[in-house]
Chains A and B, each alone.
Chain A
Amino acid sequence: MHPAIQGLLTIAIGVSACVGYFALSNQFLDKVLFPAKGPNAGRNINRANLIRPWLFLFPALFALGLYLAYPVFETLRLSFSERIPGGGYKWVGTDNYAQMLDDRKFKEAITNNMLWLIVVPAMSTAFGLLAAQLTDRIRWGNLAKSLIFMPMAISFVGASVIWKLIYDTRPVDQDQIGVLNAIYLALGGAEPQTWLTIPLWNNFFLMIVLVWIQTGFAMVILSAALRGIPEGTIEAAIVDGANPFQIFFKIKVPQIKNTILVVWTTITLTVLKVFDIVFAMTNGQWNTQVLANYMYDNLFRANDWGVGSASAIVIMLLVTPILVWNVRNARKEMR
């Protein structure tokens, strides 16, 4: 069967199965199980209303449980076990973690990830705040925002190609086609550099790609927050003779502190999961390994599910503080 037809069929089957399930299960509940007539009509309606939410929720809970909740525990279990050739698992305690901690590549990945975690959210938020503030008061601000926001739509892989062209290197006697080398030579650099192979610095060249993508996101959120600031506070500051910088840093930024924090944590989450950029641009060579790519290497190249799962658990641990914070905020909002 042609995959496109299969796709259409799946949509049709999936959609009609979902709609059918919801419609039929509701009918069944109201007409067969607890009909709203006869001697027990009142009790039946109440009972039906007790069950109905779960009919609505069931497909979602099933999918969430199977595709997100169960894997978390299963990965945790796998990280403490080892595959026996021919099938089955053997409990090995913390061996996988010990092996991982001894791995030079893992240490490299952790160090680099920490660097990513500091640089990318900080730079994206800073650039986003700058762009939000600057575009807010000019006439073509919306167009400017739209263009800065655009990289959000570009895949990490596409962005990697875009930036690889910028970092491209040609031999010294040829015209440089990568703009970074062209600028470097024009500014008096001795010979073209292969940017992605210079240890430590190459990490920053990879981070720039993500900063480029995430700045638009930060800008959109922060710009909305800036607009939400009560005009009165700003007018009062102007009357008191504050200059534009004071207004920005002393009046506006403190008022949108919470939004900045949300933006920061959201980008942090993206950073922790960043895989495509490193995979496509350096594949972790030249000291650019990160956790997500390290995990992929272990799972699918080395075929070591134990260490791979252990590194996935490390990513989960790094995410957990944000998870807890988010859940607490959500609960506070609901009250």
Chain B
Amino acid sequence: MDNIAGRKSALNWVVQISVFLLVALWLFPTVGLFVSSFRTADQIATSGWWKSLFPSEQNLVIRAADPDDFRIEKDGLFVVEGNLFDGSGAKVISVWGTSSRAIDAYEAGQTADLGDGETMTVQANGDYVWSGNDEQMAGRGQRVFATAETPPEFTVKNYDTVLFGTTDGAMAKAFFNTLTVTIPATVIPIIIAAFAAYALAWMDFKGRALLIATIVGLLVVPLQLALIPLLTLHGSIVELWIDILGKPELENARRFAEVNPLGELLGYQPGDGVNAKGYLGIWMAHTGFGLPLAIYLLRNYMVGLPRDIIENAKVDGATDFQIFTKIILPLSFPALASFAIFQFLWTWNDLLVAKVFLIDASGKTTVMTNQIVELLGTRGGNWEILATAAFVSIAVPLAVFFSMQRYLVRGLLAGSVK
């Protein structure tokens, strides 16, 4: 038995290490983006993010202070003293030089002879003393080429730019647009599905089995098939709407030529157009696409609720509607939460449905995923903006994921996924 126990502990170590490697491999990409979002454009462009976690060696070109303003006369010589890093004290110089051809000519603390009595001394912490005669100590400050050990440096400026900047600030708006899409698109299907699921789980009627089978079938219908028919449908609803509230223009049936009193009451004027793309359309679309999973998950859960409770309630004279609202709905909370998380993640992360049903040429109704794709196209090289924008969009789903993981897992196990 000792032998087996020994092998077991060795195997345990192998398992521990493999899991660690696997987790590291899976985390590495996300961490890379996260770290990059806290670096400046320069830092991202010049070194890999994994290097930013450790002190790095940088070649810097810095000018000493302007001698015309800062020189002090001392013993017949003019002296400029100061710190190359303005006293920030974080960087440590190892070697330095005064010419681009010999950037490692001197070590920290050594004094360089710049000819005709002009000298310069640079310390490891960046303190320097530069002295010479009146003629030498004029014009621009002496250039110093320093090789310095730089500690990790991070900034939150990117988040400021992405969320509140004028040109990139579209992200803040996109954030709220996404929220506007997501919440109704999560709440509405839950209600509709809950009633249907109750009927499918606890009411007896002809064709129930067939309906359940149909819903299982619809579960896998690719939403790609729905795009064009629904876009056309939304278009004809808009045209109908205009017909009800007035008369359409001849060349554009989605614009008012005349408005009747009812239309005026709703605030329309002749010449106003009605857009077939918009929030209402995307809410409806997400509701339709989310329903099969919602009904399927909720029905499977409700079927498992104890029969006694429901039958007792019926004996006590409760109607189906009361049983549903007072007993089934509260008991089904875990399943409702599971679906809510799925639908939230799915609508928040969606690109295709938003592109087809929401985003029009005006650019007012963009969502975050679309905003990021556009950034990828126009600013593929601006990693600081991209990384930050992507992280802003990822942050909310990640928060939901980590706080509600239990329900997510339960939902996954209860049924298949879209």
Contacts and interface: CB of A to CB of B under 8 A. Distances in A.
A binds B: yes
Contact of B22 (A6, A52, A148, A217): A148
A75 interface: yes
A61 B227 CA distance: 19
B376 A166 contact: no
A326 B227 CA distance: 24
Interface in A157-207: 157-158, 160-166, 168, 174-179, 182
B220 interface: yes
A23 B321 contact: yes
A300 B195 CA distance: 37
Nearest to A27: B321
A155 B349 contact: yes
B199 A11 contact: no
A43 B209 CA distance: 25
Contact of A10 (B23, B279, B386): B279
Interface in B44-96: 44-50
Contacts of A296: 352
B309 interface: no
Contacts of A60: 192-193, 195-196, 291, 295
Contact of A22 (B213, B283, B321, B349): B321
Given A10-B283, A221-B413, A334-B212, A56 B199 contact: yes
A111 interface: no
B390 A158 contact: yes
Interface stretch (A90-98, A101-109, A139-147): A139-147
Interface in A69-92: 69-72, 74-75, 78
A121 interface: no
B393 A158 contact: yes
B229 A162 contact: no
Q: How large is the interface on B (under 10, 10 to 19, 20 to 34, 35 or more residues)?
A: 35 or more
Contacts of B103: none
B198 A56 contact: yes
Interface in B276-329: 279-280, 283-285, 287-289, 291-292, 295, 319-321, 324
A58 B372 CA distance: 39
B170 interface: no
Nearest to A137: B15
Contacts of A326: 216-217, 219-220, 416
Interface string A320-335: 0011001100110010
A161 B394 CA distance: 11
B331 interface: no
B401 interface: yes
B156 interface: no
A52 B198 CA distance: 11
A276 interface: yes
Given A11-B187, A212-B29, A273-B222, A161 B47 contact: no
Interface stretch (A12-20, A112-120, A229-237, A250-258): A12-20
Nearest to B31: A162
B112 to A, nearest CB: 29
Nearest to A143: B23
B400 interface: yes
B287 A157 contact: no
Of A6, A68, A78, most buried by chain B (CB within 10 Å of CB) is A68
Given A144-B23, A280-B373, A7 B183 contact: yes
A179 B50 contact: yes
A41 interface: no
B387 A165 contact: yes
A137 B8 CA distance: 12
A286 B154 CA distance: 36
A319 interface: yes
Contacts of B199: 52-54, 56-57
Contact of B224 (A6, A57, A164, A315): A315
A10 B184 contact: yes
B218 interface: yes
A153 B30 contact: no
Give the size range of A's interface with the partner. 35 or more
Interface string B4-35: 00000001100110110011001111101100
Contact of B288 (A53, A64, A131, A141): A64
Contacts of B36: 165
B22 A134 contact: yes
A11 B372 contact: no
Interface string B176-207: 11011001100110011101101110011100
B418 interface: yes
A295 B373 CA distance: 18
B218 A57 contact: no
A276 B369 contact: yes
Contacts of A100: none
Interface centre among A157, A221, A279 (most CB of B within 10 A): A157
A33 interface: no
A244 interface: yes
A14 B28 CA distance: 43
Given A59-B192, A221-B413, A275 B26 contact: no
A70 B400 CA distance: 34
Contact of B229 (A3, A15, A71): A71
A329 B67 CA distance: 86
Interface string B142-168: 000000000000000000000000000
A154 B394 contact: yes
27 contacts: A7-B183, A10-B279, A22-B195, A53-B205, A59-B195, A59-B196, A60-B192, A66-B233, A67-B226, A67-B284, A69-B218, A75-B225, A78-B229, A134-B18, A144-B23, A146-B402, A147-B27, A149-B405, A157-B349, A158-B394, A161-B33, A161-B390, A175-B46, A273-B222, A292-B222, A299-B227, A330-B216
Given A4-B179, A11-B183, 7 more contacts: A19-B191, A148-B26, A157-B390, A165-B29, A300-B356, A326-B219, A326-B220
